[in-house]
Amino acid sequence: MDRRAIRTDLALEERERIQPEEGEVTGVKMDACEEGPDVCVTRVRILDGTGARAMGKPEGTYLTLESARMAKEDEGYHRDISEIFAGKLRELLPEGWNSLLVAGLGNHSVTSDSLGPRVVDNLWITRHIEKQGKMVSGIVPGVMAQTGMESAEIIKGIVRETGPDVVIAIDALAARSVRRLGTTIQLSDTGIQPGSGVGNHRNRLNAETLGVPVIAVGVPTVVSAAAIVYDTIDILAAALEGNQETRGLSETIRAMESQEQYQLIQELLLPRLGPMFVTPKDIDAVVKRLSFTISEGMNMAFFA
Amino acid sequence: MDRRAIRTDLALEERERIQPEEGEVTGVKMDACEEGPDVCVTRVRILDGTGARAMGKPEGTYLTLESARMAKEDEGYHRDISEIFAGKLRELLPEGWNSLLVAGLGNHSVTSDSLGPRVVDNLWITRHIEKQGKMVSGIVPGVMAQTGMESAEIIKGIVRETGPDVVIAIDALAARSVRRLGTTIQLSDTGIQPGSGVGNHRNRLNAETLGVPVIAVGVPTVVSAAAIVYDTIDILAAALEGNQETRGLSETIRAMESQEQYQLIQELLLPRLGPMFVTPKDIDAVVKRLSFTISEGMNMAFFA
Amino acid sequence: MDRRAIRTDLALEERERIQPEEGEVTGVKMDACEEGPDVCVTRVRILDGTGARAMGKPEGTYLTLESARMAKEDEGYHRDISEIFAGKLRELLPEGWNSLLVAGLGNHSVTSDSLGPRVVDNLWITRHIEKQGKMVSGIVPGVMAQTGMESAEIIKGIVRETGPDVVIAIDALAARSVRRLGTTIQLSDTGIQPGSGVGNHRNRLNAETLGVPVIAVGVPTVVSAAAIVYDTIDILAAALEGNQETRGLSETIRAMESQEQYQLIQELLLPRLGPMFVTPKDIDAVVKRLSFTISEGMNMAFFA
Amino acid sequence: MDRRAIRTDLALEERERIQPEEGEVTGVKMDACEEGPDVCVTRVRILDGTGARAMGKPEGTYLTLESARMAKEDEGYHRDISEIFAGKLRELLPEGWNSLLVAGLGNHSVTSDSLGPRVVDNLWITRHIEKQGKMVSGIVPGVMAQTGMESAEIIKGIVRETGPDVVIAIDALAARSVRRLGTTIQLSDTGIQPGSGVGNHRNRLNAETLGVPVIAVGVPTVVSAAAIVYDTIDILAAALEGNQETRGLSETIRAMESQEQYQLIQELLLPRLGPMFVTPKDIDAVVKRLSFTISEGMNMAFFA
């Protein structure tokens, strides 16, 4: 089964897929998780074109903050995460920036896709007040079904008109594993790629297209429904393998990819699941909490 | 594999599970689908305790309106559906009613669970204006995480205080098949059962608990993530069966339920998926459209 | 000019109208403002029927927190206010309470009337989790145009069904002076009176009607448009009085009430202004800020 | 009293102020109201610089649809208004347009300022679907307090990036008379001026700044609180004039403008009222209804 078909916006998940055990992937460097108090920060660096092709993601640095406690209601803990996030964001921000645009991507009307709009709602916006110091502006461009335009088109236009030194694009992400939902924040200096985010942006949003550095911040809030199919098959194969009598079946299932029967799954199940995603039942609480954690972290990173 | 574990709020799906081919189920009567213009209306009646036990649902009448076109944007078509819905709702309403309470169950902050609140938003509310004629009131009780109370407690209190002749409870539902999402409306005269709806109500809401007839109206907007697991296994088994060489494997998989390996799925996959649901990516458009179709249908049924 | 016609929900304003200078009003006791750090807390007690008639408000205690800084964005200051508020709320809460219902009155869809719903949105709701300790529940009953029912009917029903020890009703209020908008919080142990709030509740909500103590919490967010008419006439009269030549005019204007010309204002201007209110342009920021200050204060009062 | 100080976004009100009785204003042409079924359409044309200076508005055509019935709930009537509106909008649209951007100005979080965002919410957006035919896009730029940017900056950027043939800017307006609130729709081919709208845009949005024609559509939803002051003084003066004994006072009041006492009003009352506006209590229903009427009218104008 080729899990490549299942998109993940997390560099960490992609890295683990390629080489789950210890070992190096050419062109990719992963730093051991820095254990903080109840949080783990991993740094994946894609160093060159070889790494980029292997990972299906552009060269650059990807930081992942992970903790099961993020999904819990705990004000003190979320304040700690905001501070760690602020520190990591400062690492990625270009030195000496004066003006900054935060773009809250995604759809305010779909709970699992509303992270970006919610973050912008809680930011300290100062560009219209400050004449010097840190000028922060924010935009919620909406999604294509609402605007008829790509977010990238809208943001490009605004960047050209208002000339910020740096853009931060914040978006809800798709992960491969349900364990990541609401427990992970990813920061990268690579911008947004086509096909990423819950809403599948078509256009690139990066230093090349905008002319200024683009930092991407995201939280996985959905898993593609197709991922469940692959998880099921994996576990089924593992289950069969565990037993002497059925071990042969396991190999058969694992080998199905090359067989024509496998097409049944491809043809019958995946098309129906293609336009579906999997999300936690308490997604409203998850998004409310993490959008606040991130906006507070941004306020700290910008002004503290 | 016992698909019983996967909850469906649709009587039609439950009926099809028990006896997918032609044939009778004791205590349950299903009328052939009335083909209307691009819509199919099926009537399932649960006649007695035997039927209720088989179906896992209380005795009563369940009407299902189905059409793939419901999921599409087509104003004229939705007006037609509103009219058909109004006719069916009138069948279930007690004759000579004067006052009626519509309860919009579910969570306004979770798109897939927001059908009920949205329907109430668009109703003609007249109880505070009309002294005679049709007095319609509406309530959006919220969900337990927001109120600390069961919807049933809130509605019971309001019914005792305001004494409507009949209650209509409208809610987003869970189906077993993703094909039903946004394409189906169910009406029943049985009220709301514990464990039904996207938010899993704990308490019963029916004539016995409220003292007045309770009509339930719902649209499936989610499928439990576990349903995808079962679908995958079914299709895998079917795939293996279609081929001479692997036919044996199919039987093995189908028989897994009784085996200990099957526990791996039960123990590894389902717990992680338990608090997850599957929903369409364009759920905002689906809920916006169908809530309007239903509120318009109610307005017709009450006042036309 | 009889400013009595202009409703105020603030006991403090009513008290100042009756006797603006130093001095006592029979049946009413006002304690000098306790100066805190940037906040002034005034206590008005209506002691008996005489006081109640003079004030047009029921007997009981009314606490007013006032500060121009409340209208400003200042996180630290709002945290201070939350603490002061929590202390005052604890004074009014019955000792040894175990269960408590917070009712967020008003209309979520009208910004100036959305204080109550917003406060409930941010409360820690625990009744469904805690089996002992402080059980807090919350309800947003909506307004009559949306539900067809009085808030009082809805809350009465819920109180009977769930039996809290005390009810807190939170609502946006009407003041007489625009200076009070967004700068004042009133707490009282008297419940809600007919005609109070931005939405003009018709029914009483107090210990007598609910059977449990009712604490009312409110913030003035609107002034009736008619108040501007009276303010204008007052200032005009004062302006004329300040000048030797026009002093006579001032008396004429002040005396107009008894004259038939005054009817022009009554007949021409007030009817048109009756269904209008005056509210600050940044009412969204005011309500967002103060609803958060109050919900945080409630969380402290209940759980700290 | 110089009512010029009170801003109105309605050309019709400005025209009536200058010359309330029959007669011509140099550089301004007003066509008698076309009486339709329950609606009155007035056309004011500002022909040259003289007219523009007198009116304080740029040269161009201003169409006003007026009817007290607009403020009422009446689905059939609103459909009629949508059709009339569609006809007038078509008159202003450049012939042969293919792509069009609708900008919903204003603040979604302030009910009286939410007309623009709500209209865009209900439009048929087609630019991402249609490759030929009518390509409609929409944007809700937000307000400066939320974005740190002028709406004009955002829209300029988007227009440059996406190149529509024409822009329609829809906004909530300020009127001088409360009678206009929710009963009037204004269309003009002049774009948006600095200081117009409920939120007081600072920057111009017109053919000169955007490079494409800009049609402005608006509904008055607020009156400045200061307007009530002037209305009161006018009516007071009229009241005094109507009586033999007080006629002298009336002249005194009318003449107050030049006197120093008048400064009291200027200094005491207006500053406090400056950041306040007057709006109807049922503004949520008004905005909901008229935004739907306008979006339906736009859909007709674009696609029918």
ipTM field: 0.91
Q: In which element (H, E) is residue B288 found?
A: helix B283-303
Query: What pLDDT, on a 0 to 100 scale, did the predictor assign at position A264?
Result: 65
Confidence class for position C286, pLDDT limits 50, 70, 90: very high
Q: Is D174 on the interface with C (CB under 8 A)?
A: no
Look at residue B1 in the predicted model and tell me its pLDDT. Answer: 45
Nearest CB to C137 within list B138, B149, B160: B149
CB-count exposure of residue A10 (10 Å: 0-12, 13-18, 19+): buried
Contacts of A246 in chain B (CB under 8 A): 252, 261
Per the listing, tokens 């030195």 go with A95
Residues in chain B, total:
304
Which of D71, C275, C150, D284 lies closest to B128, judged by CA? C150
| Residue D192: closest CA among D173, D165, D211 | D173
Q: Is B270 on the interface with A (CB under 8 A)?
A: no
What's the pLDDT score for residue C263?
A: 67
From D125, D145, D149, residue closest to A147, measured CB to CB: D125
Is residue C1 pLDDT above 50, yes or no?
Answer: no
The shortest C-alpha distance from A127 to chain B (Å) reads 31
Strands A99-104 and A135-139 come out as parallel
Q: Which residues contact C239 (CB under 8 A, 6 or more apart)?
A: C250, D256, D261, D262, D264, D265
DSSP-derived secondary structure letter, D265: I
**Average pLDDT rounded to a whole number, residues B60-84:** 90
**Size of chain C, expressed as the number of residues it contains:** 304
Q: Which residues of C touch D253 (CB under 8 A)?
A: 236, 249
Predicted local confidence at residue B301, as pLDDT: 97
Q: Which residue has the higher pLDDT, D118 or C36?
A: D118
Cα(C219)–Cα(C222) distance, rounded to whole angstroms? 9
- Nearest CB to A139; choose among D137, D154, D159: D154
Residues of A in contact with B106 (CB under 8 A): none
pLDDT, residue C199, reads: 81
Q: Whose CA is closest to D165, among D211, D100, D90?
A: D100
Could you tell me the pLDDT band of residue B171, with boundaries at 50, 70 and 90?
very high
Check CB contact of A244 with chain B, cutoff 8 Å: no
Residue B30: C-alpha distances to residues B46, B48, B190, C116, D67 (Å): 9, 14, 16, 48, 54
d(CA D304, CA D298): 10
**Pairwise CA distance, residues D231 & B18, whole Å:** 75
Half-sphere exposure of C178 (CA within 13 A, CB side): 27
**Closest to C197 measured CA to CA, from C170, C177, C215:** C170
Question: Which residues in chain D have their CB less than 8 angstroms from residue C279's CB?
Answer: 276-277, 279
* Mutation site, A114, A121, A126, A139, interface D, largest D CB count within 10 A: A139
Residues of C in contact with D239 (CB under 8 A): 256, 261-262, 264-265
Burial of D132 (0-12, 13-18, 19+ CB in 10 A): exposed
Q: Do A121 and D146 touch (CB under 8 A)?
A: yes
Task: Give CA–CA dist A213/A216, Å, rounded.
Answer: 10
Q: What is the pTM of this model?
A: 0.93
Å from A148 to nearest chain D CA?
A: 5
CB contact under 8 A, D280 and C279: no
Class of domain D11-221+281-303: alpha beta
Which residue type sits at A148?
G
Q: Which of residues 249-268 of B touch C (CB under 8 A)?
A: none
Residue C211 has pLDDT above 90, yes or no: yes
Confidence check: pLDDT of C3 > 60: no
Among B2, B206, B30, B196, residue whose Cα is nearest residue B105: B196
Q: A236 and A223 in contact (C-beta within 8 Å)?
A: no
How far is B124 from B135, CA to CA, in rounded Å? 10
- For residue B180, the number of C-alpha atoms closer than 13 Å in the C-beta half-sphere is 27
Q: State whether A178 and B273 contact (CB < 8 Å).
A: yes
B47 or A199: which leads in pLDDT? B47
Q: What is the rounded average pLDDT for all residues in chain C?
A: 88
- The whole-number pLDDT of residue B264 equals 64
Percent of chain A surpassing pLDDT 70 = 90
Query: What distances in angstroms separate CA C127 from CA A86, A124, B199, C210, one per listed residue?
Result: 35, 34, 17, 19
C282 touches chain D (CB under 8 A): yes
C-beta pairs of B200-206 under 8 Å, 24+ apart in sequence:
B201/B105, B201/B150, B201/B151, B201/B152, B201/B171, B202/B144, B202/B150, B202/B152, B203/B150, B203/B151, B203/B152, B203/B153, B204/B152, B205/B103, B205/B151, B205/B152, B205/B155, B205/B167, B205/B169, B206/B58
Band (A4; pLDDT cuts 50, 70, 90): low
Distance CA A108, CA A110 (A): 6
Which of C220, A236, A252 lies closest to B249 in space, CA to CA? A252
Q: Are D252 and C231 an interchain contact pair (Cβ–Cβ within 8 Å)?
A: no
CB–CB of A79/A252 below 8 Å? no
pLDDT tens-digit readout, D224-262: 888 888 778 777 777 777 767 677 767 776 666 555 556
* Helices A75-92 & A283-303 angle (0-180, nearest 10): 50
Contacts of A148 in chain D (CB under 8 A): 125-129, 135-138
Cβ within 8 Å, pair A265-B109: no
- Interface residue A144 vs chain B (CB under 8 A): no
| Residue D200 contacts A, CB cutoff 8 Å | no
**Hey, which chains touch D, using 3+ CB pairs under 8 Å?**
A, C
To the nearest 10 degrees (0 to 180), the angle between helices C247-254 and D247-254 is 110
Return phi, psi of residue B276, to 5°. Answer: -115, 150
For C279, the closest of D232, D235, D276 (CB atoms) is: D276
Q: What confidence category does residue D69 fall into, taking pLDDT thresholds of 50, 70 and 90?
A: confident
Across A282-295, average pLDDT: 96
pLDDT at position A2 is 55
**Overall average pLDDT of the B159-185 stretch:** 95
> Where are the domains positioned within chain C?
11-221+281-303, 226-277
Give A144's contacts in chain D (Cβ within 8 Å): 128
Of the two residues D135 and B242, the one the predictor is more confident about is D135
E strand residue ranges, chain D: 28-36, 39-46, 60-66, 99-104, 135-139, 166-175, 184-188, 214-224, 276-280
Contact A285, A181 (CB under 8 A): no
Give per-residue burial for A261-276: e unless 16+ CB within 10 Å, then b: bbebbeeebbebbeeb
Q: Say if residues C106 and C117 touch (Cβ distance below 8 Å).
A: yes
Chain C to chain D Cβ contacts (< 8 Å): 143
Would an 8 Å CB–CB cutoff place A153 in contact with chain D? yes
Residue A183 has pLDDT above 90, yes or no: yes
Mean pLDDT of D272-281: 88
C156 in reach of chain B (CB within 8 A): yes
Residues above pLDDT 90, as percent of chain C:
64
Q: What is the mean pLDDT of residues A128-132?
A: 82
Give the whole-angstrom CA distance, residue B138 versus residue B125: 7
What mean pLDDT comes out for the span C77-105? Answer: 95
Q: How far apart are CA A237 and CA A249, in angstroms?
A: 8
B18-27, C37-46, D87-96, range with greatest mean pLDDT: D87-96
Residue in chain D nearest A127 by alpha carbon: D148
Question: What pLDDT digit, counting tens, does each position of D91-107 carry?
Answer: 999 999 999 999 999 99
What is the Cα–Cα distance from D19 to D162, expressed in whole angstroms?
A: 43
DSSP secondary structure of B168-217: EEEEEEEESSGGGTTTEEEEESS-B-TT-TTTT--S-BSHHHHSS-EEEE
Contact partners of B by the rule of 3+ C-beta pairs under 8 A?
Answer: A, C
- Is A219 an interface residue toward B (CB < 8 Å)? no
- Extract the tokens encoding D60: 């161009």
Preferred mutation among C72, C110, C273 to probe D, highest tally of D CBs within 10 A: C110
Q: What is the pLDDT of residue A1?
A: 45
* D127/A146 Cα distance (integer angstroms): 10
Q: What is the mean pLDDT of chain D?
A: 88
Residue that is written with structure tokens 């996180």 in the block: C75
Bridge pairing between strands D166-175 and D184-188:
unpaired
What is the pLDDT confidence band of residue A230, given thresholds at 50, 70 and 90? confident
Q: Choose between D196 and A103: higher pLDDT.
A: A103
Chain C neighbors (3+ CB pairs < 8 Å): B, D
Query: Is residue A270 within 8 angstroms of chain B, CB to CB?
Result: no
Residues of B in contact with A282 (CB under 8 A): 145, 275
Q: What is the mean pLDDT of residues A42-59?
A: 94
Return the higher-pLDDT residue of D283 and A236: D283
Which residues from chain C sit within 8 angstroms of residue B136, using beta carbons? Answer: 148
Distance to chain D for C75, nearest Cα, Å:
17
Residues C106 and A183: their CA atoms lie apart, in Å, by 36
- Give the per-residue pLDDT at D1: 45
Kindly tell me if the per-residue pLDDT of B98 is higher than 50: yes
Helix/strand/coil for D210: helix
Chain position carrying tokens 């319609």: B136
Nearest CA in chain A to D128: A148
Give the residue from chain B lying closest to C131, CA to CA. B148
Q: Please state which of the ranges A29-38, C10-19, C88-97 shows the lowest mean pLDDT.
A: A29-38
A264 to B111: CB separation less than 8 angstroms, yes or no? no
B window 11-70, beta carbon within 8 A of A: none
Residue B65, pLDDT above cutoff 60? yes
Chain C residues touching D262 at Cβ < 8 A: 239
Most confident of B26-35, B261-270, C67-76, D84-93: D84-93
Helix (H/G/I), strand (E/B), else coil: C274: coil
Question: How close does chain C come to B96, measured CA to CA in Å?
Answer: 20
Token representation of residue A293: 């954690």
Q: Give how far A185 is from chain B: nearest CA, Å.
A: 20
Per-residue pLDDT band for A164 (boundaries 50, 70, 90) equals very high
Percent of chain C with pLDDT over 70: 90
Nearest residue of C to residue D221, measured between CA atoms: C276
pLDDT at residue B224, rounded to an integer: 87
pLDDT at residue B5 in the model: 64
Range from A282-291, B16-25, B102-111 carrying the lowest mean pLDDT? B16-25
- Strand A184-188 to A60-66 pairing: antiparallel
**Contact flag A253-B236 (C-beta cutoff 8 Å):** yes
Q: What average pLDDT does the segment D25-37 reach?
A: 83
Radius of gyration of chain B (CA): 20
Dihedral Cα A20, A26, A28, A30, nearest 10 deg:
50
Q: Which residues of A touch D160 (CB under 8 A)?
A: 157, 160-161
